[in-house]
Structure 1
Amino acid sequence: MGSAPAQTMRAQQYDARDNKLHLNEIPIPSPREHELLIKIACASLCHSDVMLFEPNEQGLILGKNPVTIGHEATGYVAATGSGEVASKFKKGDPVGFICAIDCCFDCYACKNVHNAWCETGKTKMQGFSEDGYFAEYAVIDAREAMVLPESLDPKSSAPLFCAGVTAYHGIADCELAPGSWVAVVGCGGLGHMGIQYAKAMGYKVIGIDITEAAIEEAKNCGADHAFNSVEDKEYQKKITDLTGGGVHAAVNFTASKKSYDDCPAIVKPGVGMIMVVGIPRAPLQFNALDIALGRYRVKGSNNGTCYNMKAAIEFSAKHNIKPHMTSFKLEEVPKMIELMNSHKAQGRMGVVFD
């Protein structure tokens, strides 16, 4: 007789009682009618995962405790729920997905803004208010999933389903003409992908970061110029000289408030934009007179819904845009967090499952 199917799995869970991660053995979940059970192939670390361990003023909500962290993954369908939306997938399908659950997916906010603002007020984000993806299995809403294009490998494509979608729309939502100047502020896990998207869209790109490793990553990803904003005290003047008065958009992928404070100096007056993507711990401050008199605009970018996910993934496949990812084991997630906090990581870091 064959062995009975596994009933439990390993998961990296955050516990607010000691503000630490624990590698726990927990039950494998069962999909509800509209859900898929996914055997995780790859789960990657996002900076917002690390925000669980930090005090912040940006409305990050923890639900259940302990909670499995991680909201960026790809995998294979292991089982489907009984409902119509789940039946569109079959066992073994390679899939990617995003993390909002329990929203309606049908109201104006869900379709046009973000599931976080669903009119039901019931939205949960996996990895924060509900179990996420640093585990051997996860259940996800079938409406948030898509079968991967043939050229994308489930064992390396996880970063596309947060970093990729976020970076793509961070650039695309600037709505610039080809040949425009774009500054990518922060060239790490998000920014190294933003540079690739910006180049593929026909923009001239300047990378800005505070570490030499990230500057090298920016160049490797195709940035036309790259500046270390700590080492080069003249970087803002150099950028305005290079671009004839400033960039058309500064897309900020960092969690640094100072980097936002520094953006107005490199944006072209009257036509420039500051695109807010990264979320610092403290609220941002912009000069009201600058905005009222049209010195620059401030805009946010939708970081991913089931309605705009597919365009980003298909663009990535078409233009061969892939995350630069370092692989780890599930028990090494604390090491990944340490590397992210110390700014020693290049690109993205992910757990690859057997």
Structure 2
Amino acid sequence: MGSLDYLKPTKTTMKAQQYDARDNKLYLNEVPIPEPQPHEVLVKVACASLCHSDIMLFEPNDQGLILGKNPVTIGHEATGVVVSTGSGEVARKFKTGDNVGFICAVECCFECEQCRKVHNAYCAKGTTKMQGFTLDGYFQEYVCVDARATMILPPELDVKTAAPLFCAGVTAFHGVEDCGLQPGQWMAIIGCGGLGHLGVQYAKAMGYKVIGLDIADQALEEAKNCGADHVFNSMTDKDWQKKVLEITGGGVDAAVNFTASKKAYDDTPAIIKPGLGLLMIVGIPRQPLELNALDIALGRYRVKGSNNGTCYNMRPAIEFSAKHNIKPHLTLYKLEELPKMIDLMATQGRMGVVFD
């Protein structure tokens, strides 16, 4: 145990970045270090990364985002090292020093059909909570996570940089894979930033031809570096839709929208191959989407969503990432700099806090 002594807390409290709904602000608070319940493991956080969903706490939205505990530690993407385990059999499968990643759903059964095939949010128990929203999340030094939603990292993945894979990675992987394309078919990745740059990597690893679309040249450069065959700035290139149709011979076979832009959704059907193509919904705009019912009824294109993370579809995404060297491009900060990260969210790719 000698070399693992650094994992143990040296005091009973820790620093946490907490959102307070009373004034819609973030505070660096000192909070108690939790103790694991029988089904939990206590993890020393190695890296917690910032996701657009975290920012939705600060924004008006009508997409069903619910805040529970207040103030609440934000963050729902993280990796870390096991410090101790609860007394239950599922928790004791882990040992001190294990590098782990996890997803944020807790207090669900993980066994009902909804948990296994839909999403933990719709658990039959009706008691599901999400760490980072309804319970304390991961922008703190230690966290207790459900052992059933936790996995040991493949050795190819670095515990200090793999955090985005446990939300962004799982989301991007299944957003791409669930389109069901064959190698050689065309896929549009809409939004090439924090999620999309991973989507491009997954799509290329699966053998697809990829067109990256964004309104930021920096994100498009990232898409090219990740292997995109063509990229277009849909704001500055007025002929982007025509060019996509020409390149693909009539439209892409699937368009995966990773953005929170309603306009991006409105513009996408024009580049989808009529009668065969798919619009994959991943990004969540503030406003509800508007789809042309006649287009859907006549089969002009199909619409589908992708499950963005359960303990059942987490492992395939992580193992694929390790096998194909899929890595998030992550800029690292200190916990105290989280407000700065939030300010940069619109213009910078994935960002994370690394804990000592």
TM range (shorter): over 0.9
Residues of 2 paired with 1:103 and 1:296: CA distance? Answer: 35
For residue 5 of structure 1, report the CA deviation from its aligned partner.
3.0
Does residue 266 (structure 1) correspond to residue 271 (structure 2)? The answer is yes
The equivalent position to 1:134 in structure 2, one of 135, 139, 164, is: 139
Residues of 2 paired with 1:218 and 1:149: CA distance? Answer: 25
Cross-structure match for 1:350: 352
Instruction: Work out the percentage of aligned pairs sharing the same amino acid.
Output: 73
Residues of 2 paired with 1:237 and 1:124: CA distance? Answer: 45
The equivalent position to 1:205 in structure 2, one of 197, 204, 210, is: 210
For residue 115 of structure 1, report the CA deviation from its aligned partner.
0.2
Question: RMSD value over aligned CA atoms?
Answer: 1.1
Cross-structure match for 1:146: 151
The equivalent position to 1:168 in structure 2, one of 173, 177, 196, is: 173
Cross-structure match for 1:184: 189
Does residue 241 (structure 1) correspond to residue 246 (structure 2)? The answer is yes
- Which residues of structure 2 form unaligned runs of 5+? none
Residues of 2 paired with 1:152 and 1:231: CA distance? Answer: 37
Matched residue SS, 1:182? strand
Matched residue SS, 1:21? strand
Q: Per-residue displacement from partner, 1:110-149 (whole Å, max 9, x unpaired)?
A: 0000000001110000000000000001110000000000
For residue 190 of structure 1, report the CA deviation from its aligned partner.
0.3
For residue 204 of structure 1, report the CA deviation from its aligned partner.
0.1
Residues of 2 paired with 1:307 and 1:46: CA distance? Answer: 21
Cross-structure match for 2:297: 292
Residues of 1 paired with 2:219 and 2:195: CA distance? Answer: 11
The equivalent position to 2:44 in structure 1, one of 26, 39, 47, is: 39
Residues of 1 paired with 2:338 and 2:253: CA distance? Answer: 38
Cross-structure match for 1:9: 14
Does residue 281 (structure 1) correspond to residue 283 (structure 2)? The answer is no
TM-score for both structures, normalised by structure 2: 0.97
- Which residues of structure 1 form unaligned runs of 5+? none
Matched residue SS, 2:235? coil
Q: Per-residue displacement from partner, 1:285-325 (whole Å, max 9, x unpaired)?
A: 10000000000000000001000100000000000000000
Does residue 257 (structure 1) correspond to residue 262 (structure 2)? The answer is yes
Residues of 1 paired with 2:351 and 2:269: CA distance? Answer: 31
Residues of 2 paired with 1:134 and 1:180: CA distance? Answer: 40
Cross-structure match for 1:30: 35
Q: Which amino acid aligns with 1:144?
A: A
For residue 46 of structure 1, report the CA deviation from its aligned partner.
0.3
Residues of 2 paired with 1:196 and 1:62: CA distance? Answer: 33
For residue 237 of structure 1, report the CA deviation from its aligned partner.
0.5
Matched residue SS, 1:49? helix
Residues of 2 paired with 1:320 and 1:155: CA distance? Answer: 15
Moved over 6 A (4+): none
Cross-structure match for 2:199: 194
Matched residue SS, 2:312? coil
Q: Which amino acid aligns with 1:68?
A: T
Q: Which amino acid aligns with 1:350?
A: G
Matched residue SS, 2:326? coil
Residues of 1 paired with 2:114 and 2:165: CA distance? Answer: 23
Residues of 2 paired with 1:283 and 1:247: CA distance? Answer: 24
Q: Per-residue displacement from partner, 1:250-308 (whole Å, max 9, x unpaired)?
A: 00000000000001000000000000000000100100000000000000000010001
For residue 4 of structure 1, report the CA deviation from its aligned partner.
8.3
Kindly report which structure 2 residues correspond to 1:103-118, keeping only aligned pairs within 5 A, or say none.
Answer: 103-118=108-123
Residues of 2 paired with 1:169 and 1:194: CA distance? Answer: 9
Kindly report which structure 2 residues correspond to 1:333-344, keeping only aligned pairs within 5 A, or say none.
Answer: 333-340=338-345, 343-344=346-347
The equivalent position to 1:220 in structure 2, one of 222, 225, 228, is: 225
Q: Which amino acid aligns with 2:277?
A: G
The equivalent position to 2:160 in structure 1, one of 155, 158, 166, is: 155
For residue 344 of structure 1, report the CA deviation from its aligned partner.
1.8
Residues of 2 paired with 1:230 and 1:317: CA distance? Answer: 35
Residues of 1 paired with 2:341 and 2:102: CA distance? Answer: 22
Residues of 1 paired with 2:338 and 2:93: CA distance? Answer: 33
TM-score for both structures, normalised by structure 1: 0.98
Residues of 2 paired with 1:5 and 1:248: CA distance? Answer: 55
Q: Per-residue displacement from partner, 1:166-220 (whole Å, max 9, x unpaired)?
A: 0000000001111110000000000000000000000000000001111111111
Matched residue SS, 1:307? helix
